[in-house]
A = this chain, B = another copy of it.
């Protein structure tokens, strides 16, 4: 047999009709147990799997979601999308959903891609990441009745409660607050915040978390918060320079929380440079780089985010990718609480006294098959 087995082959082998085989696969309850067993045996013997395209054609749905792969992952926290993608793919697979990739240079191109994928009936629904204020994509999707969910809140005031806009997000406020409270519990009493320069959105959400913790637990004097609040672009150098200036102008600072691991890494370098390697610093994202360098960070539990996204899209049953319109209002979004990961930081400057080097000079003779990194 040079072609894949079809449902007809199975039917013949089990001495039943097409439809009975189909029933065994899709609605096993309605087929008599004896028959069912026979069919199941035939399926196993032939290693039969339904032809996905044929099924999709008949069912008029693709059981596929698509997600855009960002053009370039920004610096250190970049792997976030990567990890989300992994979680999403894994959980989608468990629900029998396939994940398709596409790329686009800008929002307009992304809309065009979405249009094409939809028109070809290739994709049932879309997952959008990195939403921003006044995002044209969500607007277009709502207008054109395309099912979607975003990872990231709709930051526009009106959109937030649009029942057509499903979203999942991480509670940056809660995360940053937990990080700050942790530092306070560890004895810090003057904690700075390094965030991004913007009024709305993710960054300010996180800033408010720091602010809330400080106000509740430390009762800072007027102006204190402002003096401890840095705003820089998400770049290592910028964070380093800003933090260095801050530390030099204020030597009472005994803790820093940052809106991203990129900023935190810059802060670590700055602290080390001014001889304050011991300064506790907490980042956000729990990036691989942060892990490698022993940076404490707020971890976005991407499994939960991915699970939430799929749940919103498909319903808890894991069932159909249908358009859900008249549902209960509060099932239209999920706010995931991140959790703090505390690590022992790698010291950037002084030799780590207690460590034993594992290097071997000239490893010829060592036959171990190492990882083949690319």
Contact = CB atoms under 8 A, between A and B. Distances in A.
A222 B93 CA distance: 56
A169 B119 CA distance: 36
B74 A373 contact: yes
A1 interface: no
A237 B101 contact: no
A289 B90 CA distance: 27
Given A101-B101, A122-B98, A370-B203, A78 B79 contact: yes
Contacts of A343: none
Q: How large is the interface on A (under 10, 10 to 19, 20 to 34, 35 or more residues)?
A: 35 or more
A235 interface: yes
B198 A369 contact: yes
A233 interface: yes
Given A54-B57, A273-B351, A293-B236, A366 B198 contact: yes
A231 B69 contact: no
Interface string A208-250: 0000000000000000011101111111111011101110000
A79 B79 contact: yes
B355 A237 contact: yes
A281 interface: no
Copies of the chain in the assembly = 2
A51 B47 CA distance: 28
Given A227-B361, A363-B197, A288 B116 contact: no
Contact of A74 (B99, B199, B288, B352): B288
B238 A359 contact: yes
A209 to B, nearest CB: 15
A71 interface: yes
Given A53-B57, A357-B241, A358-B238, A292 B76 contact: yes
Contact of A348 (B197, B244, B272): B272
B357 A238 contact: yes
B361 A226 contact: yes
A289 B269 CA distance: 14
Nearest to A241: B357
Nearest to A365: B199
Nearest to A88: B101
A76 B288 contact: yes
A326 interface: no
A201 B358 CA distance: 21
B76 A289 contact: yes
A372 B272 CA distance: 29
B89 A102 contact: yes
A360 B82 contact: no
11 contacts: A71-B86, A75-B288, A98-B100, A132-B371, A155-B372, A198-B370, A225-B362, A227-B361, A231-B360, A234-B371, A244-B351
Given A52-B62, A76-B288, A259-B373, 8 more contacts: A69-B86, A89-B102, A130-B373, A132-B372, A201-B372, A232-B358, A238-B359, A289-B289
Interface of A: 4, 47-54, 56-57, 62, 69-83, 85-86, 89-90, 93, 98-103, 116, 119-122, 129-134, 151-152, 155, 169-170, 196-203, 225-227, 229-238, 240-242, 244-246, 259-260, 262, 265, 269, 272-274, 288-289, 291-293, 300, 346, 348-352, 355-364, 366-374
Closest A-B pairs by Cβ, 7 of them: A242-B359, A198-B370, A231-B363, A49-B119, A241-B357, A226-B362, A53-B56
